[in-house]
Amino acid sequence: MIEVKNISKSFDGNTVLHDVTTEFLPGKVNFIIGRSGSRKSVLTKCIVGLNEVDKGEIFFDGRNFTSLNKWDRRSIRQEMGMLFQGAALFDSMTVEENVMYPLRMFSKMTKAELQKRVDECLERVNLSGKNKLYPSEISGGMQKRTGIARAIAMNPKYLFCDEPNSGLDPQTAIVIDNLIKEITVDYNITTVVVSHDMASVIEIGDLINFIYQGNLWWRGNPASILNSDNKEVTEFVFPSAFMQEIRDALRQGHK
Amino acid sequence: MSGLFSHIGRYSILLGQVFTRPAKASEYRRLIVDELDKIGLQSLGIVALLSFFMGAVVTIQTAANIDSGWIPKWTIGFTTRQTMILEFSSTIVCLILSGKVGGNISSEIGTMRITEQIDAMDVMGVNSASVLILPKIIAAIFIFPFMVIGSMFLGICAGAIVGTGQGVISLTDYIYGLQYYFEPYQVSYTLIKTVVFAFIITSISSYHGYFTKGGAREVGQSSTKAVVYSMVFILLSNYILTQLLLL
């Protein structure tokens, strides 16, 4: 479990995260949602330690991450996997080398063991046989799947996904969503997904954190977000007149 | 002024991270070999071309300017040797390499920064500064002196070929000039300078790449800054080292 307690963050004197407190549960897909510029990515970067928080604490299964120095954080970091918005694959390496990278850096596996683990990870994301291709030679969806394979290579306890569906067509987005959900459940990972894609949230979300102007504005599950009366949440979930009509029709149906 | 101190501070902190004890030595060995190829072997062509023509030009220029019976012909060989050993093969070659190697390093690391590849390393717990920069520094410090020695040799040979080919000096006079009042310490001096220049080029270029923010335009700007600052610091350190080592 990841616990975030009262964290604040500012850039050049401008506070962008205000006293955020929440928790992310293991074996669940925990969403951080919000409009563009709501600072959901800043929150995620604070949690993984890419941004230092000004105030507050972050606990990974009871271990205070914020109190550790850069070097002592490594042991917790090696339990993290992260899928970046643009996949962030090392473009000078093949698909196989990308997935192998964290294993080569931190494990003491033999060559044969490394290869076996890489093949397992690639098979898990349905990329068997693509080992020798470079990131520039595969599609955006495949890049995302390679990113997931790299993120799970070290058997992480925590998986972070920053906009996993951005730039993907709806069908490929569903494939990625299902993959994230399956991995989360199969390996009992604490998964945190940053997104503004409501289809993903409803499809695979277990817990939702709605960020508004750097504040944790609302917290709940997919069922409750559809029925929320919170003005900002409603505007985000049902942004158009068409969507609002659907919501009203759904509510009428429930009555 | 505060900007300057900020740069010095960040550069020092970055070097602190770079020289932290490597997590996995075998991985670094592989990376150093890669960098020896990228930084060294792939620059051999330009260094050889420059050195050959500079040696040839210095010989012709000297011959053209000492067209007097009072100055012996072997001065041409002597001047070519001194020019190649003392300044051209270390300072000028490193200035050229700051453009080729420095620009390359800065744009490579800068692109990794803006495409979140460095963030990906950091999240994994990899010391990105050390993994990306230390192999480049070690490779350059190791390979640059060999390139400079090769440059001296080629320049001096080019002088002999052009000088004797055009009939401005006999091979005997040229060799006499090469051997005249030769101080081996001057080679040591130029190699010491080369090691310092190698460190300047790789560390300053890496620094500018590592702290790139933004997009393609900023990567280009970082690359330009890397080349300009490397050149400035090469010239500055050349002056200081010459004062310290030769006077």
Closest CB to B123 among A80, A91, A104: A80
Q: What is the pTM of this model?
A: 0.89
B14-41: average pLDDT: 89
**Residue A83 burial class via C-beta count within 10 angstroms: exposed 0-12, middle 13-18, buried 19 and up:** buried
Ordered structural domains, chain A, with CATH: 1-79+158-222 (3.40.50.300), 91-155 (no CATH)
In the numeric block, which tokens belong to residue A85?
Answer: 């918005």
Residue B101 to chain A, least CA–CA distance (Å): 17
Question: Looking at residues B51-65, what average pLDDT do you find?
Answer: 94
CA B145 to chain A, closest CA, distance in angstroms equals 28
Provide the ipTM: 0.87
Q: Is A80 close to B24, i.e. CB distance below 8 A?
A: no
Mean pLDDT of B92-115: 95
Nearest by CB: A82 against B23, B27, B123: B123
Give pLDDT tens digits for A200-245: 888 899 999 999 998 989 898 888 887 788 888 888 888 888 877 8
On chain B, the residues whose CB falls within 8 A of the CB of A45 are 119
**pLDDT score, position A254:** 57
What pLDDT is recorded for position B240?
A: 96
Q: Give the pLDDT score at B88.
A: 93
Give the residue-averaged pLDDT of B155-165. 96
Residue B171: what are its φ and ψ, rounded to 5°?
-60, -35
